[in-house]
Amino acid sequence: MPPVPPCEWMTTHHRRSFLGTAAGSLGLGLASLSHLFAAEQSPAPVSSTSTAATTDIIGRPHLTPKAKHVIYLFQNGAPTHVDLFDYKPKLRELHGQPLPESYVGGKRFSTMTGNANGKLILGNVEPFAQHGESGAWVSSLMPHTAQIADELCFVKSMHTEAVNHAPAITFMLTGSELPGRPALGAWLTYGLGSAADNLPGYVVLTSVTKGTSCGQIFYDFYWGSGFLPSRFQGVKFRGSKDPVLYLKDGPGISREFREAMLNDVTALNLQKQALSGDPEISTRIAQSEMAFRMQTSVPELTDLSGESKATLEMYGPQVEQPGSFAYNCLMARRLVERGVRSVQLMHAGWDQHNSLTTELYNQCRDTDQPSAALVKDLKQRGLLDDTLVIWGGEFGRTPFIQGDLANRPRWGRDHHPYAFTVWMAGGGVKNGMTYGASDDLGMNVLENPVHVHDLQATILHLMGIDHERLTYRFQGRQFRLTDVHGHVVHDILNHA
């Protein structure tokens, strides 16, 4: 048997396997373990011959999938659930009164709030109304979303654990508050592969409302591959007419010359990989080949000349501005049309600590119409049935005010992880449904709580993945998106 390349040995062995194998060859492991434990307590050596996931077959689902694609419309900064989708008449009734202590119960808030006892209740800033046959309550701030209420499933009992943005966003997207774990899109492309030949399987687009004072930083680990091979990380498209750098050939470089050069470099990389066993060389080869194909596919993707006037108008006035949320929503539809598995849109500006009566209006103006247009566009093209659309942020906003009640232009709400709302559409989710509920002030979950890990498990289930079986061995243990938690929310699934 030929020797294992050193880099491959390093990636497939860990401390326990070293002690186990050394026990048979050098006696070191046996001596160490016998010193630490009694003989009857010594663990059996752990096999580490593979870092592969425990899915039955990578690239094939465990279950019959309802969805083939995911579009996550992630709203960085945390939209205020009590002002948009979670109608609470009692907030208006008790507006300006101290929050009852019974609702607080020793809960932890951000340092900007500290102790919430005695904080003044703030009613919804704009009126709500019921819409569609489902009778879903939607704020007048979201008129376009209200029009598609019967296409949506509102989950009003979400709750999370982090009280600050970066840990909460990281938790929602990777299953851990600490950076370094694979993002949802990375898990999906790792487990299912990509149906796109000429585009990455996982694409990320970011946007922020112009002039906002409460934008959030877009950290690369929000779409990172973590300990998975880096070819599964999200590819971030820039907000410009040239979304991917360095795709264009230099002057005098023909397509044929570029292909021949790529083949030669690939041959050298394969030789190096045979010697070192470095799995990242495979990533480098795959990235070079993808970049070559994207020289043709990306210009075609971003050419909107074939879109009808009616379609462009449906997405709103910013749709032809690269880098806007409207443009990114249209790109999301075009990406899934071309087989991209996971599209992650991240729009910042929802962190309204003292700008609820100003910037909340701007955020809704920039995101409401494009979000609704995306759902309608997917449906009319027959794509909604197998595309799961998710809209929501990392947590909600407090039912009590942050700021001076007498100074309306500076009203705000603080971070609120204990109850918030997301909506989902298509991809096997029941439409025209509201699931779960918060209490009469939108403070705590009252019924059918849905934890972040439950949402993640449900998304994977809709994509045909058993969240407990899609794992990856790293540093001596099997990791998964939902860690050791999560339950599929079967009540919101369309079993037809």
Q: Can you give the pLDDT at residue 495?
A: 81
What is the mean pLDDT of the segment spanning 121-143?
Answer: 98
Domains within the chain, CATH numbers bracketed: 69-246+308-492 (3.40.720)
Average pLDDT over residues 158-162: 97
Long-range contacts of 132-135 (CB under 8 A, 24+ apart): 132/432, 133/432, 134/432, 134/433, 134/434
Q: Is pLDDT above 90 for 402?
A: yes
- If one compares 282 and 66, the residue with the highest pLDDT of the two is 66
Residue 27 has pLDDT above 90, yes or no: no
Q: Is pLDDT at 38 greater than 80 in this prediction? A: no
pLDDT band at 496 (very low <50, low <70, confident <90, very high): low
Interval 243-254 mean pLDDT: 74
- Which region among 19-23, 273-277, 441-445 has the lowest average model confidence (pLDDT)? 19-23
pTM for the model stands at 0.86
310-356: pLDDT as tens digits: 999 999 999 999 999 999 999 999 999 999 999 999 999 999 999 99
Q: Mean pLDDT across the stretch 188-196?
A: 91
Q: Is the pLDDT of residue 16 over 80?
A: no
Nearest in space to 207 (alpha carbons), one of 377, 357, 332, 339? 332
Q: Which range has the worst mean pLDDT, 36-50, 84-98, 239-253, 313-327?
A: 36-50
Across 405-438, b (16+ Cβ under 10 Å) vs e yields eeeeebbbbbbbbbbbbbbbbbbbbebebbbbbb
- Residue 383: which of 310, 343, 334, 316 has the closest Cα? 334
CA–CA distance, 193 with 286 (Å, rounded to integer): 13
Q: Does residue 249 register a pLDDT over 90?
A: no
pLDDT of residue 54: 42
Is the predicted pLDDT of residue 112 greater than 90, yes or no?
no
Locate 125 and state its tokens: 């800033």
pLDDT score for 5: 52
Higher pLDDT, 249 or 1: 249
Q: Is the pLDDT of residue 290 over 80?
A: no
Does residue 489 contact residue 450 with C-beta atoms inside 8 Å?
yes
pLDDT (0 to 100) of residue 401: 97
Instruction: Please state the separation of Cα 107 from the chain's center in Å.
Output: 26
- Per mean pLDDT, which range of 41-45, 118-122, 435-439, 461-465 is the poorest? 41-45
pLDDT at 60 over 70: yes
Q: What is the pLDDT of residue 29?
A: 41
